[in-house]
Each structure stands twice: as C-alpha cells, then as structure tokens.
Amino acid sequence: MALLRILALLLALTVSELHCLPWFINVSESQGPGTILQSFSFNCTSHMPTLQLVHVQPPTTFFNPPSLTRWQGIYVGTVTLSSSARLDALSVNHYKLQLRFTCGNHVMEGPLSVNVRRDPGHSACAGRFASPAGEIIQVLETVTPGARLYTLLLPGLEVQRAQINIISAQDPPYFPGPFSINGQGWLLVPSQGLKGQAEKVFQLQILVTFGQNRSCLGMLKVKVLPVPSSLISFLKQASNITILEDLPPGGKVVQVRARGFDVRYEILSPVPCPLFSIGRADGVIRTTAPLELAQAPGAAVTRLRVKAHERLRPWASVELELTVNVRSVNRWPPRCLPAMLVTQIPETTPVGTVLNTFTCADPDSPGSILDYQLQFHSPPGSASLCLRDRVLEVNATLDCDARGACFQHAASILVLDGGQPLMTTEVPVLVMVTPVNEFSPACVPHKFRIREDAGPHTLLGSVVGMDKDYPHNNIEYYISGGPTIFSVDRLSGEVHLLGSLDYELQTLYRLNVLLIDHGQDQDPTHHRSGSCTITIEVEDVNDHAPECQPPFQELTIYALLGHSVEVTKVSCWVPQEPQRLAFSYSIVGGNSQNRFSLQGATLVYNNILLGPLWPEQFYTYELLIRVADAGPSIPHLSTTATVSVHLIPWSASTVATRTHRSTGCGPHFRCLQ
C-alpha cells in the first residue's frame, strides 16, 4: 500500500533535483508513526547512491533515517515519522532536517523544513494508554509506599501545564488507599502500600486536560503480584566501594551476585546512569566514562540501586544499594604563583606589612584546601617573618643596628595537598633586609687644655662621636668655621694644633665640630649629621723673666747699734706681661753674717746684734737678690738684682742716713726699732 502511495506521488510530481532544496512541508500534529513526510527521486546511473539524515534541529528521534528504493531506473527517497513520534505544535512547531545525497564522488546536502500545524481535534493521548484495554502495570505487593510506579509520557505535557486527574472511583474496601498522579505524569503507590493486595487489578481512568476544551482520556491498570515463593537474594556484598579516578572506561568496579535461577541484573537508579553500567548476565559493574574529578566533580560519590531478578519470572526480584566513591589520584603537586619570591625591604618596615600573598592550586583537585608551612633556612628559627594562611608578613621589628643583625632571610613556603600519595611544592623565599640611616651622630661637648708654647701638630685630644646605626660610629669629622690654627682628623676625630698660641693674645677658643655619618644606609648618598662644641683653653707659659729697675744699686747706710735699717726696695716687673705682679725675692749671695733680710721686696739691715761682731769701721756688702715670678705659670723664670751696700757704723746720737749712688738722690732711711 505504501509503495502505491509512493508511485502516485512520483506520477504527480516532476522529477526534482537535489539542488532544488530547501523543501518546505506542513504536517498536522495528529500524524502518527509511519507517516510519509516527503518523497523525491533522482538519477545515479554508475554508482550505488546513499541518502543520509545528517542531523535534526532541534534534536529529536521523531524522524526515521531516509529510505532509498529503485524503481524503473530511478532512485526514490522517502522521509517518514518514527515509532516514537509524538508531534505537538505547542511544544515544537518547526523541525529542520539536513539531508546528504552521495553518488560516487558527488556529494550534495540540503535542508528539509517541517512545519507542525495545530489540530484542534487531535487528542494528545495515544498508544496503549488511550486504547480501551489501557496500559498494564505489574508491581509486587512489597513495593515501597509512595514509590513511583509509572510515568505518563505525552507530548506537550509540561509545556502546556496539563492537569492530570484520576477520575475513576477509589473507595475502600477494594482500594487499599488512593493512587495519585502529579502534573509530571508520575503515578504513585498509595501511602498505605499494596501489602495484601496480591492478584488484584486496579483500573484507573486518567483525564488529561490541555487548557480549555481540549482533553483526552486514558486507562492505567495496576496488577499487584505476590512475592515469589522462590527467594532471590544478593550474596553478602560491601555496600561502599572505593575506586581510583584513573580507572579507564570499561574498567571493572565490582561484581554483584544474587541467588536465584537464571538471574538478570539492571541498574534502577540513577536513570540514566552516565558513569556506570552493569552486565545483564554476570552482574559486573563497569565504568562507562572517564572519572576525572577535576572535570566531573559530581563523580566523587554515586549511589546505585541495583535490581536482580529471574529471567523467566521478572517479578521475583531483589534490590541492592551500593555507594561508589571515586578517590582522586594525586599525580600533580600544587602549582603556585609566584613560583619564587625575591624581595627587598628596609629595616624600618612595620610589623604586619604584607610581603606577598601566595596563590596555589591543586591540578588534581581544583578548589581543594591546601596546607601552607613556612620553613626557615637562614637564619634558622627566625621570628622576623610569619605566614598567616597564604599571606607572608613581617612578624617582628627588623633591626640592622647590631653586628650580624641585618641579613638575608632565606626560607621556603611548603605547600601540601591532601591527596594520596602526599604531593608538595616548595616556593623559595629570599627577603633581603636593607639598612636605613635612622639616627644622627652626636658627641659630648668637651674641654681641652694646651700650653701656649705647644708646637704645631700637637695632639690636644679626640672628639668621640657616637652613632647607633650599624656599623657603629662610622663618622667623619669636620670643623665648621672657627679658627684655622686647629684641625680635626676626618676619620679619628683627633684635634691637632696647626699654628702657634699666645696666651697674652687669646686664652680661649671654641670649635664647632661637625659629624657626618656614612655607609649606614642602602642609599650611599643618604647621610645624617650632628655637631658639638669643643672648648680649648690656652695655659699660660712663663716665657719672660722679670726685669728690675735699676738692675744695680749702690747704697751707703749708717747703722745704729741695736736698730734695723730699711736699705732699699727692689722694683721689678715683666714688661711683656704688665699684669704679672706676683714675685718672690731671696738673697742668694753676699749676705755674710746674715746681716740682711728681705721683707717682700724691701731689703732690711739688721743691727741688733751686740758683741765683737759689731763693725767698728766702714764695710761694704755686695748682695745678690734673686727675683722670680711667683704665679701659677710655669716655668718660674727669675733675674738677679745687685745691691752694693756701704755700711758705716754710727753712734746712737747720730741719725742714720743712706746714699743712693745709682740715681744720685739720697732719701732718708727710716730706723726700725
């Protein structure tokens, strides 16, 4: 009959070439499986042609692969609806079929557009569900209460938001409780279950309503089966199975076995099961796809519900629940950014400063938690750095102002994953602490004393500067202004005399010594400075002997027995130092019989002695008087004045007189009682 229809179409249509594509055809949604959608013919004389359905948009199984027949030297291609076709214009109203024709080396492609038209009188209910006998469902009386028994598959059921209701009576005592069906078409076991309802058949009339004035009826018959007398059961089996993620597709996971006659196995859930399959006869569960957890993290845990039943009595069945755990295979160590950290920080970096945040990931398990550990190499056990989670921070004050304190911190960040075997990555860390010139040099004001007769290059002393930066006291010294007769050594701070001093001209000098540090900062041009005042006191040195005026005196005195006579007063001074007035006087020669003495600068003749020593005639004394400076200055220089005294004895009734030969004047002598 189908062949006659094809011939009729061929007679009605002219022979079309494939280059005439695309075709546009309209079809009613009421058309069912086997409906011929399009027929066409073409010539291919020297080869065996092929006609293929390349793809359908949107994807569906409603269309059969095109058939190709030969009739009177002409090839006829036909496109028909498949047995699963359920056209619904409200769900999909347009399909595009891509066809490919091959004749030897000649290949052509073209589309076939199928427009689905609504049919108001078309009933969506079809198949055995819509037949008078209805769809028969067999279920054991031990089925779980509330379990899903059946899913009603109708085109447009969800898109059109159809209402599904059981309209047949469900009242006790025949019914154990009401069956129910939801909007997804799931028929559910009564909440009381079906225990004790074996051999009973429940007829459920279902009304499906698609909007206004469009509905259809169907019948479901639920046949309750008794528990089979021959028990079927699974052998003892571990419910938790662990496999590695590198198990290839087709690899064996586990084999389940059940007691029974000619047992068959199937996976009840999940459906579909994309990762596992079970051998229908041997019960071997195998993988069907790669289990890489990095690409498919949902494969880590799969709960399988496996059913075993006898082939000839499928109602004699038993179920087993298995949990398949996929364990990651640790093949790659963590990868980190940065892979190495080399940084330089000044010693003044505050505590808590973030040096870097490390970002690491495990290629085997992206997003997994990694463990970070800080390990010091040099100096060992350093507390200057710390690692908080993934953040490297300064943990303690960095100080370069002690010997060996400013150094490189060599460490590593050890990153560990949690896989088996344990994989680690080591991130080298080098933190170089650079010195900072923090403190200004300083010195204590000092006082030096120097003799005025000191010669050039005489060392007065040293200016001692202090600087707490390391290297300590790395200072250069300079004199800022001031007199030029002094110098300070640039490195040692020693103060030297360059010229000559004169106490009489200047007794005090003040030097402003400038201190500049160096070599204490990462930047060699960064210096700090300080200063202090050095006081230099010039000590007086007695460099001029006294001079007496006159240097020689010749005197004549008349001495009374029993009286002391003031002979003369020695007048001396230092012309270069008129302020020097303190002198010491002593008779160093010519004072025979100790007749003369000095009272300060006054020469006195003592004539209180009686007896044979009293001179009765004229007598001359040549006295040498030493005059020395008596002040604090050293050395004590002296000069000698000469006094020639002519002594003439005189009676008591005669007044004593003297004659001063050096000046020509003769002042009266005063007699001392």
pLDDT digits (tens, 9 = 90+) for 179-225: 988 888 899 999 888 888 888 889 999 888 876 667 788 899 999 88
DSSP, collapsed to helix, strand or coil, labels residue 57 as strand
> Over 90: is that where the pLDDT of 56 sits?
yes
> Over 50: is that where the pLDDT of 659 sits?
no
Comparing CA positions, the residue from 464, 506, 458 lying closest to residue 483 is: 506
Structure tokens at 214: 């469009």
pLDDT at 47: 82
pLDDT at 69: 86
pLDDT digits (tens, 9 = 90+) for 295-321: 788 888 999 999 999 887 787 788 999
> Over 90: is that where the pLDDT of 276 sits?
yes
pLDDT digits (tens, 9 = 90+) for 241-271: 999 888 999 999 999 999 888 899 999 999 8
Calpha distance 626→641 (Å, rounded) = 6
Calpha distance 544→574 (Å, rounded) = 7
pLDDT at 18: 44
Please write down the long-range contacts of 472-477, taking CB distance under 8 Å and 24 or more positions apart: 472/401, 473/441, 474/517, 474/518, 474/519, 474/520, 475/441, 475/515, 475/516, 475/517, 475/518, 476/515, 476/516, 476/517, 476/518, 477/513, 477/514, 477/515
* Average pLDDT for the chain: 83
Calpha distance 531→204 (Å, rounded) = 111
Amino acid, res. 657: T
Calpha distance 466→463 (Å, rounded) = 10
Q: What's the predicted TM-score (pTM) here?
A: 0.43
Calpha distance 476→627 (Å, rounded) = 51
Calpha distance 41→39 (Å, rounded) = 7
Comparing CA positions, the residue from 671, 561, 567 lying closest to residue 608 is: 561
Bigger pLDDT: 552 vs 633:
552
Pairing of strands 301-310, 240-244: unpaired
Report, in angstroms and rounded to the nearest whole number, the Rg of the chain calculated over CA atoms: 66
Question: Residue 420: how many CA atoms within 13 Å on its side-chain side?
Answer: 5
Q: What is the mean pLDDT of residues 443-468?
A: 91
- DSSP-derived letter for residue 389 is T
Percent with pLDDT over 90 in the chain: 33
Calpha distance 472→465 (Å, rounded) = 10
- Diameter over CA atoms, the chain: 204
Classify residue 326 as exposed, middle or buried by CB count within 10 Å of its CB (0-12, 13-18, 19+): buried
